[in-house]
Amino acid sequence: MMTSLLRKAEKAREGSRFKDAQTLYQAILRRSRLDTGDKVEALLGLADVERIQGYFPRSLNHYQKVARLLDRHDNAYWDAQVGWALAARASGKPRQALALIQRALAVYRKEKDREGQAFTHWALGGTLRIAGRMKEGLRELQTSFQMFKASGNSEGVSYACCALGGLYRMLGRYGESGKYYREANRRMRRRKDTFGTAYSYCGLGNVERMAGRFRRALPFYRKAENLYGAIGDRVSYAYTLWSIGTTHKMLGRYAEARQAFQKADGLFQKTGDTRGRIYTLLGFAEILFLRGERTKGDCFWKKAAAVADKSDFAWEKLHVEALKGGRLRPLASRYQKTGSFFHPESLPVNWP
């Protein structure tokens, strides 16, 4: 019976039915007689779906429960640590996340756990990107992609493609970014992975936006928005809304941009995503600067600066510094030190 419920929960999770999976995992954990293996599996599954939905404190709590149940020599202990790191990263603690992921990777290497290594290289690459260390992040993601491909893990390859698409975009290499996002989209649709398909559509929109093809970006965002709405996602959906707002801003549609930023900011506040808040606050500031409302714009810029100062997000701190008082500062060399050739040149800014 328990195996059947766990199988149903996993199937719901794989089908992007995160709320259903959450309910099933919670039902399993309410059972009075539950062996350690089943409890660990249910806690890990519950923590993962909560993290994906943006319930980061609850997710962190369940990962910690797994860690208390297991010995450090058990690979599931380190699976929980990597999940904990991803939730911590989303909560504004990329440095803490990096330390945890690197420890887990050392264990997987010692144990010759190739699947664990591939996943951890993927997690490490994404975390290095968020920490502003683009060149290092690219190396990790390329390693993850090759390992998933060698093992025949189609899901892993799909998500590695999405991550590579995102990082190449941050580097300003839009042709390579689009190639990986298109491959991810093809694979995700074939697998009927709703969450992954939405993620790749948003990525394709971001490539078009960053390349300056703003009107071509919007249909991709709409597809992503509809899919995220269908599955009740709050985290990636919020970034899609921010991307829609930025695209409207670039087209001079300030009312539509502000509306999208407001929706995104509301979700970022609900999930406690400080990185997302920096982006929306900068978006509000820039619209006001462009409308000539410098004093109001400066208030939003100061809010963005305050959030950034309390975070470990080096890349976003560069953005805040670049857009100061409604004027852009020449920070191209600072961006290049992170491994990226992106740098803003004039208002309006097409942030990554």
Total residues found in the chain within this entry: 352
User: Residue 164's pLDDT band (boundaries 50, 70, 90)?
Assistant: very high
Tell me, what DSSP letter sits at residue 90?
H
Average pLDDT, the chain: 94
- Taking the C-alpha atoms of residue 149 and residue 88, their distance in angstroms, rounded to an integer, is 28
**Per-residue b/e over 229-251, b at no fewer than 16 CB within 10 Å?**
eebebbbbbbbbbbbbbbbbbbe
Residue 1: per-residue pLDDT: 53
Q: What pTM was estimated for this model as a whole?
A: 0.94
Domain count, the chain: 2
Report whether 267 contacts 248 (CB < 8 A): no
- pLDDT-based confidence at 91, cuts 50/70/90? confident
Contact, 132 vs 313, CB < 8 A?
Answer: yes
Q: Which two tokens stand for residue 91?
A: 């909560």
In this predicted structure, the answer to whether residue 56 has a pLDDT above a threshold of 80 is yes
Q: Does residue 48 sit within a domain?
A: yes
- Whether 322 is covered by a domain: the verdict is yes
Q: Which residue has the tokens 């968020």?
A: 130
Q: Which residues contact 313 (CB under 8 A, 6 or more apart)?
A: 92, 94, 130, 131, 132, 274, 275, 278
Q: What is the pLDDT of residue 190?
A: 96
User: How are the residues of the chain apportioned to helix, strand and coil, as percentages rounded to the nearest 5?
Assistant: 80, 0, 20
Residues 219-231: tens digit of each pLDDT: 999 999 999 989 9
CA dihedral 195, 197, 203, 207 (to 10 degrees): -170
Secondary structure E strands in 274-340: 323-324, 327-328
Question: How would you label 36-61 residue by residue, b for 16+ Cβ within 10 Å and e otherwise?
Answer: eebbbbbbbbbbbbbbbbbbbebbbb
Q: How far apart are CA 122 and CA 119, in angstroms?
A: 5
pLDDT in tens, 287-342: 999 999 999 999 999 999 999 999 889 899 999 999 998 999 989 899 998 888 88
For the chain, the maximum distance between any two Cα atoms, rounded to a whole number of angstroms, is 65
pLDDT of residue 2: 62
Angle at which helices 114-130 and 75-90 pack, to 10 degrees? 20
Residue 131 resides in a domain: no
| Distance of alpha carbon 120 from alpha carbon 139, whole angstroms | 13
Q: Which of 20, 39, 70 is the last residue of a domain?
A: 70
CB atoms within 10 A of CB 140: 24
Looking at the domain assignment, is residue 118 inside a domain?
no
Choose one of 36, 70, 104: the last residue of a domain: 70
CATH code for position 29 = 1.25.40
pLDDT in tens, 8-17: 999 999 999 9
* Count of CB atoms situated within 10 Å of the CB of 78: 25
DSSP 93: -
- DSSP for 246-286? HHHHHTT-HHHHHHHHHHHHHHHHHHT-HHHHHHHHHHHHH
**Residue 178 lies inside a defined structural domain of this protein:** no
H helix and E strand count, the chain: 18, 2
Among 46, 70, 94, residue at a domain's last position: 70
| Residue 199 included in any domain | no
* Higher pLDDT, residue 247 or 1: 247
Residue 117 lies in a domain: no
Q: Compute the distance between CA of residue 68 and CA of residue 79 in angstroms, rounded to an integer.
A: 13
Task: Give the residue numbers spanning the domain of 27.
Answer: 1-70
Q: What is the pLDDT of residues 41-54, one digit of tens each?
A: 999 999 999 999 99
Q: Which residue has the higher pLDDT, 181 or 2?
A: 181
Does residue 97 form part of some domain? no
Which pair of structure tokens corresponds to residue 69?
A: 């149940």
Q: In this model, does residue 157 exceed pLDDT 80?
A: yes
